[in-house]
């Protein structure tokens, strides 16, 4: 029979996963505690959390969640192959920043990698999570979109303004229009 401490841990993992819309599992091997704390700090800045969990406990929590909600059935199939040390990355609705910080940290430390994750109800494997993490953030995409929308109107404005200013410049160069401060001879 499982100890009450382990049952409480399974229940807390189950509640964490159930109460957050998105999560991912991160694998880490032979990592210094200091490096793991640095990763936690960088992820915490994006309002996400990392919790180190035992593989058997996460499997049990996911199997209990599958009974309640069928969206975890694909996750439980994926979790059967979990090996090595595992950390649970708990994500908010805007998960791009946290995934990006884990990806950036995994580039400096080869011992950290994505295992799989459930984002917006869709199961993603490690390679797909890395691709999602490499995408620009929502704010960056919005600013690019605004720049794209602004471009044509600016070009139209300057193209409509340009012929008149060219005509005026030609007339000024031929002394047909007086410059500022000059008085016209025809007056």
**pLDDT of the chain, 187 residues: tens digit per residue:** 478 888 898 898 888 888 887 899 898 888 888 888 888 898 888 888 898 988 888 888 888 888 887 777 777 777 777 788 888 999 888 888 889 989 988 888 888 889 888 888 888 898 999 998 898 878 888 888 888 888 777 777 776 677 777 777 777 777 766 666 555 555 4
Residues 86 and 150 in one domain: no
Residues 35 and 109 in one domain: yes
H helices present in 20-92, as ranges:
33-44, 55-68, 73-79
Residues 129 and 140 in one domain: no
Residues 14 and 37 in one domain: yes
Which pLDDT belongs to residue 187?
47
Which pLDDT belongs to residue 120?
86
Residues 141 and 92 in one domain: no
CB-based burial of residue 2 (10 Å sphere; 0-12 exposed, 13-18 middle, 19+ buried)?
exposed
Which pLDDT belongs to residue 185?
52
pTM, whole model, 2 decimals? 0.70
Among residues 92, 110, 135, which one ends one of the domains? 135
The domain in which residue 171 lies consists of: 136-187
Residues 128 and 179 in one domain: no
Residues 161 and 126 in one domain: no
């Amino acid at each position: 029979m499982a100890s009450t401490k382990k049952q409480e841990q399974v229940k807390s993992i189950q509640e964490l996963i159930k109460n957050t819309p998105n999560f991912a599992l991160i694998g880490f091997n032979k990592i210094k505690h200091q490096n793991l704390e640095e990763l936690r700090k960088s992820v915490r800045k994006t309002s996400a959390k990392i919790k180190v969990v035992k593989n058997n406990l996460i499997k049990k929590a996911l199997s209990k969640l599958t009974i309640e909600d069928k969206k975890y059935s694909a996750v439980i199939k994926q979790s059967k192959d979990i090996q090595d040390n595992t950390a649970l990355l708990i994500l908010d609705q805007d998960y791009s920043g946290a995934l990006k910080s884990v990806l950036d940290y995994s580039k400096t430390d080869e011992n950290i990698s994505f295992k799989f994750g459930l984002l917006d109800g869709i199961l993603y494997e490690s390679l797909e999570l890395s691709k999602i993490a490499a995408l620009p953030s929502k704010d960056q995409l919005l600013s690019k979109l605004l720049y794209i929308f602004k471009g044509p109107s600016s070009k139209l404005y300057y193209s409509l303004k340009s012929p008149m200013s060219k005509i005026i410049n030609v007339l000024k160069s031929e002394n047909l229009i007086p410059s500022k401060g000059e008085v016209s001879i025809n007056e």
